[in-house]
Each structure stands twice: as structure tokens, then as C-alpha cells.
Structure 1
Amino acid sequence: MPDTLSNTDRLNGLLLRKTDPATGAIYREYKNLDAVAVDYKEDSAVYKKATAYFAQPKHSDCLAVLDYDKSKAYDSLKAFWYFNWTFGVCVDNTIDDSTVQLSNIFEVNKDHFLVLQTEDLSKFTQMMGQNYTIGLKHDLNEPMDAAFVGGIALYDVGSITWKFKQLEGITPENLTSQELAGINNIHAIAYEEMMGKGQTSEGTTLSGEYIDLLHGVMWVQTECQSRLQKLLQDNGKIPYEAQGIAMIRAVLTQVLNEAYDKGIIMTDDTTGRPMFSVTTTPRSQQSRQHLSDRFYDGASFEYHASSAIHTITVNGVVDSDTIMAA
């Protein structure tokens, strides 16, 4: 199909269509569910996932769909990796060797999340330890994965934890303590009934790391890259001396201050200040080759990620006037 959109395409809510000539993969961005319905029937898996996504009150203003040959997954994803998406779900909930390979692609790149859903927790064992794969345990008749992304991912990065969240259209399960322990042990997430409300049972990836922490790392990385690129584009020249290096330092400091304001970076209890540092080494410490190549790699930063309270224990003492029987 042509990459150029017609007026009819735009009126139907199609925002972008792009075909990769090497793999034949087609990437589309849709404005709403009605737009998805133009290309996918209402009984199709894509439409059902899109329905769950757009049913969430916090969904984004577009949904991306990538049609590709599973045997060409790596090259297809590579072609569209830096398009407008961060979380990916699979239309086919089958978890097999190709799914493990897909998870490995996300793990290597470290800047997107793969969300998988199954009813069989054992399917996740071969992906345990993956930082960028999220495992959901839920009835496959309900697309919890699409609802999970649509319901939580668009909150401001750093402002939320992924536990305790409600998902529209997803039926919460009454889980025994043993069932919940099994889900937690493999670092998967269920949608559980708790105090009369549905909620996501945890907020971790299959490694046990918390999604909000990793999402914060992604935000900092992406913002540093884009702001430094803008610095290079908007200035006639960044001098390779103290002044230019100070400009780089200022950009990194600004990004980390914003990350602190968002809740990505922790507050130092002693000083009341954000727990991060930025280091830039002077021109004199750069190699002759780097100076010749106009390449600067003397900037670095460190921060302590903000955390969240997921479990609370309260100890209490009750005094009574009752005289107990001997």
C-alpha cells in the first residue's frame, strides 16, 4: 500500500502508514477505534486489543499496529523501532521460542517494553530475569495486556507505581494467597480483587525490577539524547573548551532536575536536595584522537532512583480495662 495517505485515509482516522520494502512489514498509527475498524474486522484479534486499549481513560491519542512476518521479526522491528511507540503487545498470545527471541530484542535495546499475557505461568520461566519484558497472568478471553498499557503507560513518568491500578473492562480474579505467591515468585502481574476493587497485583518486569524505575531511566536517557541533539542543532558551534563543556553540563543538569520534579529521582533526607550528580571532564583530559575527531565523552551523571511504598505493616497496642478470667 502507498505510504502517502489519501484524504479518505485521514478522514477515517489513519495518522501514518509506512511499509518497509525489505521485509514487507506495514506500520500504521490510528487515531481511534473507528480508524482501526477500517482495516481490521470487529472479530479480529487486533480490533479486540484496540478496543481494550481505547476503553482506558488514560489512553494516548494514537495506537500503532505493526503487521509483519514472524520469521522476519528482528528486521521488521528494527525498521520501525524508533517510531512513535514504547510499549508493545502481541496480537497472538502464544508464547513459544519466537516469543523468547522477541523478548531478547527488547532486552538488548533497553528502551522499549514488551508486554506478554498468558494463563500458564510456566511460559514465563524461560524469560525470567528479563528487565524489559512484562508478564501478565490472565484469562486470554480478555486482553489485559492492551488494557494494562492503555490504562497506565500515559501517566507522567515517575508519578505513579504500576501496582494498585484499575483497568476498565478487565475482570478481577479472586486469588488465594498461594496463587498470588506463585505469580509474585515469577515476577508476573495479575488483576486481582482487593477490598471490593480490581487492581494490578504488582508493578514489576520479569526480572523483578519495577516498571516505573525502568520507565524513568528511559525518560532520562531519551531526554538527554534529544536535548543534547538540540544543543548541537541550535548553536552555530559548541566550542571544544570550558565554555562548550559547561553548556553540555547545563543540559544534563536541567534534565536531571526535571526528572527530580517528576519523581524519578530521590530526595536526600539530609540536604533536602535531589540525589544526583553531573560530572564533566575538561578538554585537557581528552585524548588527542578525540580532539582530532571532535568527539567528547567526558560527561557522565549518577542518580538515585525514587522508590514507592507497596506494602504497609502497622503495629498497634490496645489497652483494656477488662478483668480476664483466671
Structure 2
Amino acid sequence: MADNYTQVKDITVNISTAAAAGSVGLGYPLVIEGMAEKAVDYTECSSIAEVVAAGFAAETEVYKACAAIFAQANKPKTVAVCASAGKVGDWLAENGNKGFRQVVPVLGADDSTIAELITAVSALDEKILFATVKSTDAMPEAKSERAVIVVYGGASEYPNAAVVGASAGMAAGSFTYKNLVIAGIAAENLSAAQVKAIHEAGGMCIIKKAGDIVTSEGKTTDGEYIDIVDSKDYIISNIVYQGQKMLNNSNKLPFDNVGISQLENVVTGVLADAYRNGIIASNEDGTPAYSTNFATRAEVPASDRAARTYNGGAFSFDLAGSIHNATINGTIEV
């Protein structure tokens, strides 16, 4: 999430995706250079001019990556930049509590490998790596729902940054990463077999469909849909944040049915927001497909009450998902 705060939390949310099921923003992109000749402090920028003011002139790789982000129609309001004298992976391990979400690496010689970056990003809360390789041969063996890799052999620079720029300005759950319209990046002329091979390797590519330059798929390297990762992160981060705010602003949250109801209301409010964003599906009758089940005080073990720990809250929801492919059958009558 976008807040910078200590990683001590009083609200814990565990969420899993059932096999049958198939507010706070989620942060902003970070363009980071590793093994740089000169370190540049972490700076949040709202324009390409501010990127220059932060220390990255037009000929630098960080500038080029940021330019690709800011060139997109749905660009984010903020992009963070920095340069580290050490490896990108080491910087991430030490600074994972900052407000960035999407990591766009500019890797120097002897810097972290993409496989090492996948490990580093996967160890952090609510971060996701967007990287580029030239071919499927360069795809790392490590797979993660925290890694998106664009396989791109063209001359255009930083297609991964363009994908971030085309998506980071939209609300989580309101879009899918497949068929994102990309500006400033040349499409590759790939056969259906080549595109299939890239997808099977865990990557996406930049191709042309119906005259538009778009992303070919919307999955992470381990095959999860990126919008599902966004959706889970959105719900978790908002319940944690809003629940913590409620505790901060209460002289005391009583361990009775009134206090439990207040906690449940936080969860219900976040789920309602998620439904409005398109994360949660509708039931057949048009009502939101989510539910909560919070144990009453009498149902909570006395040992938990003595420890001032409430473990009786639960919620569930149906993901709205997205249509990525369709078959439409027609009949001609003669």
C-alpha cells in the first residue's frame, strides 16, 4: 500500500483463493538503477521534469524507463526513482516498507539477476516485479505470482515500464492486464506459435490486435492472473489499514458484540468498495457476492478474551474475473 509505516501491525488478514473460485491505493511504480556510479536518493516524482530534477538526465536509463511510464494514457500520478551503488535486490531487502508497488529495474553490470529480483520482491508485502527479457531462453526458472516478464526482442526500450504505465493509474480490479493498449512501443510481428511459446514460458509479449498495440496476456510467471494478485492485495491492505485506523482512533475497542460489530463493519466496507471496483462478482439476483461471519463474544474462547485477541472473523467473496477469450457461434439460413 502507499503508506510508509513500520511493519508492526495489530490487524492480520489471511486470504486464499479457493480452487473453485478459479480507501488505500496499492502504491506507485519504482524505477530503480543498480550498481550505479553515483547513488541517487529515493524520490517521488509526478512528471518527467521532476525525474530530471531528481538527478536523472534525458540520456540516463532511469529517465528512459520513466518516459515510457509517463507516455501511457493511464499513467500513475507518482513514479519513484532512485539509484543504488549496490545491487537492486539488496536495496529492495532494506527498503521494502516504502510506498512503491511495481518494481521496474534498470540493471547494471554485476547487478542482481531477474531470478534474484523475483526472490527479493516475493519476500516483500504487496510488491510486484515487472521485467523484460529478450527471448524465452532468458526466462528465469523461478516462477512467482509476484513477477511479470515481458519477452521482447524489438528495438523499443523498456516495454515493461510501458506496461506499468498503462496500468498503474487504474483502480485495482477495474481492468485486466491482457489487451492493455501500449503507447510508444513497437509491436513485434510474432506468429501464433511464437506467442503461445512465450505464454507457456510464463511471459507476455507486445503485439498488434485490431490495429492497436497491446499486451498479449495478463498473467504472472507462475500463471496467476495479475489482476487477481492486485485484487487480493487491495482487499488485504485496505482491511489492515482501515482496521488499524479504527484502533488508532478508538480509546478502546470493547471485546463485546458491539466492538466485534465495528470490526466486521470495517471488513464489510472494504468488500463493498471492492465490489464497486469490479473485484467481486454479483450474485444472480444482482447483489454483491461476498459474505462475512464474525463470532460473537460468547463464541470466543475465554483464553482468547483474556489475551485480548479476536480470531473469530471470516469473510469470503467470488472474484468477478474477466473474459479473455470468447467463441460466438452463428448460423446462416439459406
Pair 60,191 (structure 1): closer, same or farther in 2 beyond 3 Å: same
Equivalent residue letter for 2:297: R
Match of 2:56 among 31, 40, 43: 40
**1:107 CA displacement:** 2.2
**1:291 CA displacement:** 2.4
**1:83 CA displacement:** 2.2
**1:314 CA displacement:** 1.5
Residue 90 of structure 1: SS of its match in structure 2? strand
Say whether residues 1:222 and 2:237 are aligned partners: yes
Pair 232,140 (structure 1): closer, same or farther in 2 beyond 3 Å: farther
Give the Cα–Cα distance (whole angstroms) in 1 for the partners of residues 320 and 219 of structure 2: 15
Mapping of residues 1-326 of structure 1, within 5 Å:
26-38=41-53, 39-71=55-87, 73-74=89-90, 76-92=91-107, 98-128=113-143, 130-138=144-152, 139=154, 141-269=156-284, 271-320=285-334
Equivalent residue letter for 1:80: N
**1:60 CA displacement:** 1.9
**1:127 CA displacement:** 2.3
Aligned length: 294
**1:48 CA displacement:** 0.7
Give the Cα–Cα distance (whole angstroms) in 1 for the partners of residues 94 and 112 of structure 2: 22
Structure 1 residue runs of 4 or more that deviate by more than 6 Å after TM superposition: 93-97
Residue 253 of structure 2: SS of its match in structure 1? coil
Equivalent residue letter for 1:274: P
Question: What's the CA shift string for 1:170-195, capped at 9, x where partnerless?
Answer: 11112111111111212311110112
Structure 2 gaps of 5+ residues are 1-38
Give the Cα–Cα distance (whole angstroms) in 2 for the partners of residues 94 and 206 of structure 1: 24
Contact kept, 8 Å, 2:69 with 2:164, in 1: the verdict is: yes
Higher relative contact order (CA 8 A, sep 6+): 2
Question: What's the CA shift string for 1:267-293, capped at 9, x where partnerless?
Answer: 122x32222121212233434443233
Pair 135,146 (structure 1): closer, same or farther in 2 beyond 3 Å: same
When Rg is computed on C-alpha atoms for both structures, the one with the higher figure is: 1
**1:141 CA displacement:** 4.0
**1:204 CA displacement:** 0.8
Pair 93,253 (structure 1): closer, same or farther in 2 beyond 3 Å: farther
Equivalent residue letter for 1:66: C
**Structure with greater helix percent:** 1
Equivalent residue letter for 1:263: G
RMSD: 2.2
**1:154 CA displacement:** 1.4
Equivalent residue letter for 1:50: C
